Chain A
Amino acid sequence: KQEVTQIPAALSVPEGENLVLNCSFTDSAIYNLQWFRQDPGKGLTSLLLIQSSQREQTSGRLNASLDKSSGRSTLYIAASQPGDSATYLCAVEGLNSGYALNFGKGTSLLVTP
């Protein structure tokens, strides 16, 4: 059964710092990995989708990498801003999961001014 783990569980940084959020998964047989942002009491906003054949994806200040063989992904946020404060979720779509996404518990990020 696919297990998705996100480290750290919580992170507090001053504005302007570059930071890395980590995601690991136990079964490397995946279609893709998707990063989401969740604001308190709100829905999930898709940030980046990396296909299993890709190594990374970039959108603005965000860069996500994927190392499928080692079961790891990182989300890099450059020049963090207070508006980046949210919970970041990693989700894996496995070949053996019937196209369902398997989520990690998330990293709660606080960027202080």
Chain B
Amino acid sequence: EPEVTQTPSHQVTQMGQEVILRCVPISNHLYFYWYRQILGQKVEFLVSFYNNEISEKSEIFDDQFSVERPDGSNFTLKIRSTKLEDSAMYFCASRRRVGTGELFFGEGSRLTVL
């Protein structure tokens, strides 16, 4: 069964460093998302991406964050200068269509900022 894959599964970084989280969405999906979950808190929307551009972003997704689909299969989330509060599980998700389409999530990338 097709699935969303994410790498790395866990990354530890020093505050102020740049981090890139990678995702391979399901191949025939058109809409891509990043969500995050801080330990003990609810899953929060960060950004949605369609047709090679951001379609929606939350207030969390500030100038330190960026997304890219560099080659038609990968979908990346970059955090330019990590802060302690960026420590969280980051989930990539994809789906074929919006509104009526089921959203499929990857296993997540755990980011620890020291």
- Could you list which residues of chain A lie within 8 angstroms of chain B, going by C-beta atoms? 31-32, 34, 36, 41-46, 49, 51, 89, 91, 93, 97-106
Contact = CB atoms under 8 A, between A and B. Distances in A.
B41 A105 contact: yes
Interface of B: 31, 33, 35, 41-45, 48, 55-56, 58, 91, 93, 98-100, 102-108, 110
Nearest to A104: B42
Nearest to A47: B102
Contacts of B93: 44
The residue among B45, B48, B93 with the most chain A CB atoms within 10 A of its own CB is B45
Contacts of B43: 44, 89, 91, 101, 103
A36 B104 CA distance: 10
Contact of A105 (B42, B104, B105, B108): B42
Nearest to B10: A41
8 contacts: A43-B107, A44-B43, A44-B93, A46-B102, A46-B103, A93-B99, A98-B56, A103-B44
Contacts of B31: 99
B91 A43 contact: yes
B45 A34 contact: no
